Each structure stands twice: as structure tokens, then as C-alpha cells.
Amino acid sequence: MLASPEFAAASRRPPKRLMAIAGWSVLGLLAAVFGVYLLTVTLGAVHGVEFCPQTFERRSYSFYELPVIGIQVTGVRREDLPTAAETFLATAKLLPTPAGKQRDWHIVVGSRGLRLARKGDANILLQYLEAREANQEHRWVKWSEDHPELAKIFWPAVQRLAIEELYVFVPDLFDLTKLASDPAEFRKQVDRQLAARLAFVARRWLERGNQEAAKRLVGEVESLDPQNGELAGLREALGGS
């Protein structure tokens, strides 16, 4: 006996239980996706400001990553943050262009998710660059305009420390400007201090087994201050080279 058309159609329909399971599965999947999205937006936001020691440029950055596992899920969005000090130093050509036009980026301040923002060492220099007088003039722009010969000596030394990420020693250079008046004497003071800091870095490179980096810095120390007290020990550690 042939089955009725209605019976045949009903037999082809999926059981109601399977439809319910499929429906709840889809809802569960959508809920999971929404949950991951919500967690990523609230806990996976990464943003901050970074600084280029070669050019003194700064820029903001932001992206999202999956919380806990830290997998980046969006591209990095960056935006330039020009400042009066950066513009002045570039216009006055007070910052040498490093060989190869290399550009590094150091963290000024950054945060992840709901954590409090953390400041990087580059923020030490930024505090000086942003300093203003009572009349709102940028202090170190004004100083550089008033002391052009000293500025030609000062800013390349600051840049050199920044490139090596020696921001903790930057205040010592700024302190030298307080009584500076004679360019020749100022250069001697700056060179001695810069040589001492680079010798410190050379020693660290030697401890890490990077002879090539250490040798490069030792040569720079010799050029800046041949009387530096660390030189003999550094040369010996390099095998007399």
C-alpha cells in the first residue's frame, strides 16, 4: 500500500528534538562568540604612547588581543603626536641622523586591559621635553634658542643616551646645563659623562657575551674620553683588541 503524501513529507522532516538541539547549539555558539568579543573589548585593549630616540617623534598605538593568552586579533593602529620640542629639534637640525636611518620605538606609557598604565623609562626624557616656564614657553626649546652653540653639543648627547635606552642617566646631562656657558668646557663635561655611560653599556654587553657590540662602544668611549677609567679593563676583557 502506498503511503500518503502527508506521511511521506512528515517522515522526511528532522525530529523536533534534533531541531531543538541544533537551535540551542547555534544560540550557544553565538553566546560564546559574543562573550569572547565582550571580554576582548573590555580586557583585551592594549594602548599607549611610544617614542623614537633617533628622531624624538612620538606616536600612540592601540590594538586588541585575546585576554589571558595574549594573541593579537586586530592590526595596530598608530597616530603621530607631534610636539613643539620635536618640531623645533627637527627644524634646527640638532639631532644627527644615525647610520642606516634606523628607527627604534621605546614605550613612554602603556596599558593592557583593566591594568593601570605603566610608564617606561622613555617617560623620563619626555618629562623634560614637555617642561614649560610660567609663561607657558617650552623650557628646553627656549634654552636651545638662547644657547645655540651649547644646544649643538647637548642634544646629540641626549639622543645617544636615548638610543641606548639609558634614560635614567638623562637627568645628569640636563643638570650640566645649569652652569654651562663656555661651549668648549661644556663639550668636555658632556663627552666625559657620555663616555662613562657608554662604558657601562659596553660592560653589560661583555657580560652577555656580545663582543662585537662591546667593541663598538669601547671605540666610541675612546673617542669621547681617552682618559676614561673603564677603558683599560674593557680593553683587557676584549682581549687587548
pLDDT in tens, 127-185: 999 999 989 899 999 999 999 999 999 999 999 999 999 999 999 999 999 999 999 99
Are residues 88 and 139 in contact, defined by beta-carbon separation less than 8 angstroms?
Answer: no
Distance CA 51, CA 105 (A): 5
Q: Using 50, 70 and 90 to split pLDDT, how confident is the model at 76?
A: confident
Share of the chain above pLDDT 70, in %: 78
Between 1 and 31, the higher pLDDT residue: 31
Whole-structure pTM value: 0.78
- Average pLDDT value for the chain: 85
Distance CA 84, CA 6 (A): 82
pLDDT higher than 60, residue 2? no
Strand 106-112 and strand 77-80: the pairing is: unpaired
Distance CA 27, CA 29 (A): 5
Strand 77-80 and strand 45-51: the pairing is: unpaired
The per-residue pLDDT for 22 is 62
Are residues 51 and 163 in contact, defined by beta-carbon separation less than 8 angstroms?
Answer: no
Q: Using 50, 70 and 90 to split pLDDT, how confident is the model at 240?
A: low
Distance CA 86, CA 141 (A): 9
Q: Using 50, 70 and 90 to split pLDDT, how confident is the model at 99?
A: confident
pLDDT higher than 90, residue 98? no
The per-residue pLDDT for 23 is 61
Q: Using 50, 70 and 90 to split pLDDT, how confident is the model at 74?
A: confident
